[in-house]
Structure 1
Amino acid sequence: MEITGDEIRRRMIEHESLDPGGLKLVGATITGRLDLTDVVAKKPLVLHDCTAEAPVLLGRAQFSLLDLSGLAAPMVEARGLAVDHHLRLSGARLSGAESIDALHMRIGGSVYLDEGFRAAGTVTLSGSRVAGVLACQGGRFEDGLNLVDLHVGDGIFLSHGCEVSRGGSLAALRMRGTRVDGQLILRAGRFVSHDVAVDLRHMSVGRELFLPFESVEGLIRLEGLTYEGLPRDATVDEWLSALPLRTPNYATQPWTQLAAAHAAAGHERDVRRIRVAQQRDLRRRGQLSRWGRVWHLIRGVTVGHGYRPGLALVWLAGVLAVSVGVVLTSGAVRCSAVEQIGYALNVATPLVKVDTARCTVDTATGAGQLVLASTWLLQVLAWAFATLFVAGFTGLVRRNA
């Protein structure tokens, strides 16, 4: 069956004469250009498994339902399209360099780009509003999927066979600034780029985030991404590996979001691990001065940036052991061996004092002078480690930078 694009336009303009089910064509070949720009038809338009030789133009058109399942065409232009219920492109095959240009759509139901949908060119739904779900299970997007500043009510499903790829500098999947009130699911999908594969910057997910890093072949941008609950489909260890190694640069917010999610779940041990890993990433890739890096390293080694204050006690014990070793091996301290140990602890321990009145140091010898100098230095270090322990324990040196 053949039908001209002009005939379809005429029927939809005269939609009042149509059956309440609207216009339905199955397996038709549409000759000429199907131009439904600015057509307002409060009836369904169903073009199942139809073939169009020219781009399908739907700019600013209005329908109660639009079903283009199985459509074979160069592209669909649908800027400003309004549909009261669902927009279906399940199984459609679009061959143009720009397969879908659908900025600022208003869809009262759901959008389906699934069940074998194929787009050789770019698919853009940016700035649109979808009340239901955006379903792309089993869809293939060969030159990127742009979902920038999208608002979706129930959920976005880029899962179970959804494949998005792109060459060049732009991300394969771009969702910057998008808001989804429900779930974002990338489970069992595949997202491929030589640079950034997935861009989720400043995205808001109202419920769970399902993000398996194994599905992403390339870098991922997460700055400003927020979500409810714990992220799913990736372990804490996988997040601790992905954030420093799979993101283009250091950013504080993805670390703090992850830590806050685990804190809300009561996983304090994981929160400490996340915070320490964040500080390592800050030191490696953050914008710190030379002295800032030195101090950052000292805090990391001594107290784990305030999250492992027990490390300072280990260092303090090491200082005491060195003090005892210096005193016992110097031969310049005159008293018994037990008293020499007490003397070494006395001069190096900030808080504990023992009676070592009978011990004297022969300062006339080089060994005695070395003992005095080394114990002074060790006392400074002991005070420093004790202070760091107290500060780390009370949280005074924690910096969520």
Structure 2
Amino acid sequence: MEITDLTPAELRVWRAFPLNKGVDLRENADDDPADGASWGPGRTIRAEVLRALLLDGPATGGEVPGLKLTGARITGRLDLMYGTAEHAVRLRSCHFERPPNLYGARMRALVLTDSVLPGLTAGTLRVDIVLRMTGCRITGPVRLAGAQLSGALFLDGAVLGAPGAQGDPPPGPDREGSGERPEPVLQLNHATVGTDVWATGLTAHGRVRMDGATVGGLVNLDDAELRDPGGLALEAETLSVGTDLRAARLRARGMVNLSGATIPRRLVLSSARLSNPAGQALRASVSTIGELWLRGTAPVQGTVNLRGAQLDLLEVTPEVWPERVRLDGLTYRRLTPHLPAERRLPLLEREETGHLPYSYEQLATAYRTAGDEAGARTVQLAKLRRHRRALPPYARFWGYLQDVTVGYGFRPMRAGGWLLMLLLAGTLVFAGEHPRPLKADEAPDFNPLFYTLDLLLPVIGFGQEAAFAPEGAYQWLAYLLVVTGWILATTTAAGITRALSRQ
């Protein structure tokens, strides 16, 4: 392009480029780039001029060139497909007529802060320093699949997509496919980000896709709003982050899918609102997470699926859980806040696949880790009671008997209470009516207390039971004490054996 072809506005940009100086075409500091279609020639820059600058622009000895433009209307398509821009590109508060095509390009830095774009095609883009789209409004899809960003990606305050807007189709290698699902408004699938993804306050009208992405630092979605009702608000299967995934006060309409994700420190969903009533609202199955925070989160609308997930800490109150959960194989070491076991147990009744003994064992282990043995026993007892429902009638009867007498061995004091009550009753009855001695000249002195103990305790003998024979109703009382003693002894032994085997 010859320099004589440039308009006055383009000439200013051309001359500023080799000196890395900024050109601000705004009439007022608060000009809205959304109105850029009406900006006149004094604020219009052709995309082909910017392309020429970035690929083969002038240079001045001793200076580092760079494009620094604010408040411009950029007409045509900025096409740097497979190109290399060795200079920083800063296009702030600009209005783009067409989506830039940066597919396969390599750039030092790209800053689009507060700009308005109809889309961005940048699959497999390589950026050495930073990609900044803070405050951008992009109505079409942002295609960054397979991008390699050595530094950070900034999307804080950006608004992506619009209800019903799909944008232009991408070129061949970056095509989403011909399925029925709308194209994601943000495509970071299989991208690599060297440091952080900073997207606080992001608003996405459509699916955000991050499956297979690798982020060296944290992903920050605090105060973000992701809207894909009935679909996938956040698709991040096998996402790998270096530290945290923060999403405090997140508002998600549609599934948040973190299946298979690796988050070594914290997944923060504190005070979030997750809604997908017809399906799964949160899916983090077979994921590996250091700490999952659901502190202050509103009751989840939709299923929570944590099957096979591995957590060190699970922080959640019972009120957060929805009516349907999938917890088979969920492993966690600590559970906070510490609450009575009776408040945690109703959750295990909501498992969609029915009774899962492992879920009870895991909850009991968490209470035992916290030093609450009483809570652990309560959970174990609840597990056996639920299992009893599936047993045949005779086994259920035996289970009820063990439950009433000794609480399946987890309430051993009950056996002591029953024995003490029967001992007192037997002692009072036989104190008033001594049984007849079998051999009067050989029988010891009758003692109602030890005679009752002889009847109740099958493994201890005081010589009283064998020396005396009650008659009539008293004989039936003796039989009752013998049978009751055997039942208490065997159920106690079974319960103790069960408890010891778990230890």
Q: Over residues 127-146 of structure 1, what are the superposed CA-to-partner deviations in whole Å (9 max), with x where a residue is unaligned? A: 21111011111101122222
Shift of 1:75: 2.5
Q: For the Cα contact (< 8 Å) 1:224–1:254, is it kept in 2?
A: no
Matched with 2:209 is: 124
**Larger CA Rg, structure 1 vs 2:** 2
Matched with 2:308 is: 224
**Which amino acid counterpart does residue 122 of structure 1 have in structure 2?**
R
Identify which of 180, 195, 215 aligns with 1:109.
195
**Which amino acid counterpart does residue 82 of structure 1 have in structure 2?**
Q
* Separation in structure 1 between the aligned mates of residue 405 and residue 97 of structure 2, nearest angstrom: 75
Q: Against the structure 1 CA distance between its residues 269 and 360, is the aligned structure 2 distance closer, same or farther, given a 3 Å change threshold?
A: closer
* Separation in structure 2 between the aligned mates of residue 203 and residue 121 of structure 1, nearest angstrom: 24
* Separation in structure 1 between the aligned mates of residue 482 and residue 374 of structure 2, nearest angstrom: 33
| Length-normalised TM-score, structure 2 | 0.64
Shift of 1:382: 2.0
Q: Against the structure 1 CA distance between its residues 181 and 340, is the aligned structure 2 distance closer, same or farther, given a 3 Å change threshold?
A: same
Q: Against the structure 1 CA distance between its residues 322 and 198, is the aligned structure 2 distance closer, same or farther, given a 3 Å change threshold?
A: farther
Indicate yes or no: 2:254 matched with 1:146.
no
Identify which of 123, 128, 140 aligns with 1:59.
123
Matched with 1:10 is: 80
* Separation in structure 2 between the aligned mates of residue 395 and residue 349 of structure 1, nearest angstrom: 21
Q: How many residues align?
A: 373
* Separation in structure 1 between the aligned mates of residue 237 and residue 396 of structure 2, nearest angstrom: 37
Q: Against the structure 1 CA distance between its residues 184 and 272, is the aligned structure 2 distance closer, same or farther, given a 3 Å change threshold?
A: farther
Indicate yes or no: 2:408 matched with 1:310.
no
Matched with 1:49 is: 114
Q: Against the structure 1 CA distance between its residues 122 and 391, is the aligned structure 2 distance closer, same or farther, given a 3 Å change threshold?
A: same
* Separation in structure 1 between the aligned mates of residue 126 and residue 401 of structure 2, nearest angstrom: 64
Q: For the Cα contact (< 8 Å) 2:406–2:412, is it kept in 1?
A: yes
Shift of 1:2: 1.8
Fraction of identical pairs, as percent: 24
> After alignment, is 117-126 or 222-231 more displaced?
222-231
Identify which of 72, 75, 83 aligns with 2:149.
83
Q: What SS does the corresponding residue of 2:490 show, helix, strand or coil?
A: helix
Q: For the Cα contact (< 8 Å) 2:154–2:197, is it kept in 1?
A: yes
Matched with 1:185 is: 268
Shift of 1:89: 1.2
* Separation in structure 2 between the aligned mates of residue 398 and residue 89 of structure 1, nearest angstrom: 55
Q: What SS does the corresponding residue of 1:236 show, helix, strand or coil?
A: coil
* Separation in structure 1 between the aligned mates of residue 502 and residue 263 of structure 2, nearest angstrom: 32
Q: Against the structure 1 CA distance between its residues 150 and 347, is the aligned structure 2 distance closer, same or farther, given a 3 Å change threshold?
A: same
Q: Against the structure 1 CA distance between its residues 60 and 220, is the aligned structure 2 distance closer, same or farther, given a 3 Å change threshold?
A: same
Q: What SS does the corresponding residue of 1:6 show, helix, strand or coil?
A: coil
> After alignment, is 80-89 or 320-329 more displaced?
320-329
Matched with 1:173 is: 256
Q: What SS does the corresponding residue of 1:202 show, helix, strand or coil?
A: coil
Q: What SS does the corresponding residue of 1:37 show, helix, strand or coil?
A: coil
| Length-normalised TM-score, structure 1 | 0.78
Q: What SS does the corresponding residue of 1:183 show, helix, strand or coil?
A: strand
Shift of 1:26: 1.1
Q: Against the structure 1 CA distance between its residues 346 and 257, is the aligned structure 2 distance closer, same or farther, given a 3 Å change threshold?
A: closer
Q: What SS does the corresponding residue of 1:87 show, helix, strand or coil?
A: strand
Shift of 1:157: 0.9
> After alignment, is 56-65 or 320-329 more displaced?
320-329
* Separation in structure 2 between the aligned mates of residue 12 and residue 68 of structure 1, nearest angstrom: 21
Q: What SS does the corresponding residue of 2:80 show, helix, strand or coil?
A: helix
Q: For the Cα contact (< 8 Å) 2:242–2:263, is it kept in 1?
A: yes
Q: Against the structure 1 CA distance between its residues 213 and 62, is the aligned structure 2 distance closer, same or farther, given a 3 Å change threshold?
A: same
Matched with 1:205 is: 289
**Which amino acid counterpart does residue 56 of structure 1 have in structure 2?**
L
Q: Over residues 48-76 of structure 1, what are the superposed CA-to-partner deviations in whole Å (9 max), with x where a residue is unaligned? A: 111122x3222222222211122212322
Indicate yes or no: 2:456 matched with 1:348.
yes
Q: Over residues 313-353 of structure 1, what are the superposed CA-to-partner deviations in whole Å (9 max), with x where a residue is unaligned? A: 33444554665688689x79558xx8455433322222443
CA RMSD of aligned residues (A): 3.5
**Which amino acid counterpart does residue 73 of structure 2 have in structure 1?**
E
Q: Against the structure 1 CA distance between its residues 25 and 325, is the aligned structure 2 distance closer, same or farther, given a 3 Å change threshold?
A: farther
Matched with 1:271 is: 376
Q: Against the structure 1 CA distance between its residues 180 and 383, is the aligned structure 2 distance closer, same or farther, given a 3 Å change threshold?
A: same
* Separation in structure 2 between the aligned mates of residue 378 and residue 46 of structure 1, nearest angstrom: 87
Matched with 2:135 is: 70
Matched with 1:243 is: 347
Q: For the Cα contact (< 8 Å) 1:99–1:123, is it kept in 2?
A: yes
Instruction: Give the structure, 1 or 2, with the largest relative contact order (CA under 8 Å, sep 6 or more).
Output: 1
* Separation in structure 2 between the aligned mates of residue 242 and residue 102 of structure 1, nearest angstrom: 39
Q: Against the structure 1 CA distance between its residues 11 and 154, is the aligned structure 2 distance closer, same or farther, given a 3 Å change threshold?
A: same
* Separation in structure 2 between the aligned mates of residue 81 and residue 293 of structure 1, nearest angstrom: 61
Identify which of 142, 163, 166 aligns with 2:251.
163
* Separation in structure 2 between the aligned mates of residue 350 and residue 395 of structure 1, nearest angstrom: 21
Shift of 1:90: 1.0
Matched with 1:169 is: none
Q: Against the structure 1 CA distance between its residues 266 and 399, is the aligned structure 2 distance closer, same or farther, given a 3 Å change threshold?
A: closer
Shift of 1:100: 2.2
* Separation in structure 1 between the aligned mates of residue 112 and residue 286 of structure 2, nearest angstrom: 37
* Separation in structure 2 between the aligned mates of residue 106 and residue 296 of structure 1, nearest angstrom: 57
Which structure 2 residues correspond to residues 288-307 of structure 1 after superposition, within 5 A?
288-290=390-392, 298-307=401-410
